[in-house]
Copies of this chain bind each other. A is one copy, B any other.
Amino acid sequence: MSLLTQYLKVRKHTEKICEPLQIEDYVVQPVVDVSPPKWHLGHSTWFFETFVLKPNFTAYQEFDPNYNYVFNSYYETVGARVIRTDRGNLSRPTVADVYKYRAHVDEAMESFLCREPSAEVEELLVLGLNHEQQHQELLRYDIKYILGHNPLFPAYAEEHIEHDLKVDLQNWLKIEAGIYEIGYDGNEFCFDNELGKHKVYLQGFEIATALVSNAEYLEFINDSGYRDFKHWHAEAWDWVNSNKITAPLYWHFVNEEWLRYDLAGGLKPLKLDDAVSHISFYEAAAFASWKGSRLPTEFEWEIAAKQLNWGKLWEWTESAYLPYPGFSKAAGAIGEYNGKFMISQKVLRGASVATSPNHDRITYRNFFHPSLRWHYNGLRLVK
């Protein structure tokens, strides 16, 4: 598939995700971590405009110089940006304007890609496509948050990605102690944080073949799991109490029944056989402690995953997000992509039903702050 074809396919997929939205849904930012959908549409476009077109395509006419200020996310190198909590305060540019912006950049990219860009620019472009795929996944998280926190609990679409989260049969897969190799060394795209294939020594361990189910998690709740400090990290216990957390995100206890919001039609009875999802690392670790078990490290996961069925939900690991041996930041704005987040985050491995096609890899290192839970995640135990 040519780069141009790939480009157009990825770009189209983003818009496809937004198709069921009302204009109003594109605008709001109910919490700081959620961005308005129109911001994602603009920001992923701004990436190509700023890093590909402006420096490399002299014929390019900038769409609107103010957009740099509006759609930059966290690249300090590229000037002032709308502070994150302000994104939901901006009614302009309108959704229609943002789609015009996308069309303008896409058209320019088509012209540009006909001219056979250099290898270096191609690399940047591939990064831009992977970047846009990451925002596609974030779009799904954010849309779920926006609709799932609205008092009218509107549906997003009839059939949806969450229709099959059923857990597999549970067994224990045994991995022997020894030296293993970690990290990416193929010839396709990967992020810089996966590079540096290197040896690690693993102690022997056994890992569950199934994710933890809603039924199992409900046992934890019913056993007062959220009210017994001894399962929780100290900062997790503060989080539970100051936020009055009593269940995973999107769970509601209504008329003596557990309901769960999903995108295919609002509040519905909790499916007990589905994998538990939308929990924080704090909750995952507390559940594991209650179970007398633990979470895998990301290295254990990477080695075991070859024999596991993974990809429905991102899986919390015990590992902190740290650089691999020999990691170094790239020069310039692109260097801000990963390295500066390598602190106070936990690694998640795998992929989820919200992950875009061809965007999963066994070496992929996703990461979130341990308190966050609006992404599609779950947990798998190790003993």
Q: Are A151 and B82 closer than 8 Å at their CB atoms?
A: yes
- Give the CA-CA distance A328 to B133 in the complex, in Å: 40
Chain A: how many interface residues by the 8 Å CB criterion?
67
Are B322 and A92 in contact, with the CB atoms below 8 A?
no
Q: How many copies does the complex hold?
A: 4
With both chains docked as a complex, state the minimum distance between the C-beta of A86 and any C-beta of chain B, in angstroms: 8
> Chain B interface: which of A168-176, A228-236, A353-361?
A228-236
CA distance A229 to B86 in the complex (A): 22
Chain B residues lying within 8 Å of A319, measured Cβ to Cβ, are: 322
- A42 on the interface (CB 8 Å rule)? no
Chain A 316-335 residues near chain B, CB threshold 8 A: 318-320, 322-323, 325-326, 329, 335
Judge whether B88 and A28 touch: CB under 8 Å: yes
Stretch at the interface among A55-63, A69-77, A115-123, A216-224: A69-77
Q: Which single residue of chain B is at the shortest CB-CB distance from A64? A: B152
| Of A12-20, A193-201, A248-256, A306-314, the one touching chain B | A193-201
Q: Is the CB of B201 within 8 A of A199?
A: yes
| Cβ of A148 to closest chain B Cβ, rounded Å | 12
Residues of B contacting A318 with CB < 8 Å?
322-323
Which residues of B sit under 8 angstroms from A325, Cβ to Cβ?
Answer: 203
- Does any Cβ of B come within 8 Å of A106's Cβ? no
Whether A370 sits at the interface, judged by CB under 8 Å, is yes
A35 to chain B, nearest CB (A): 13
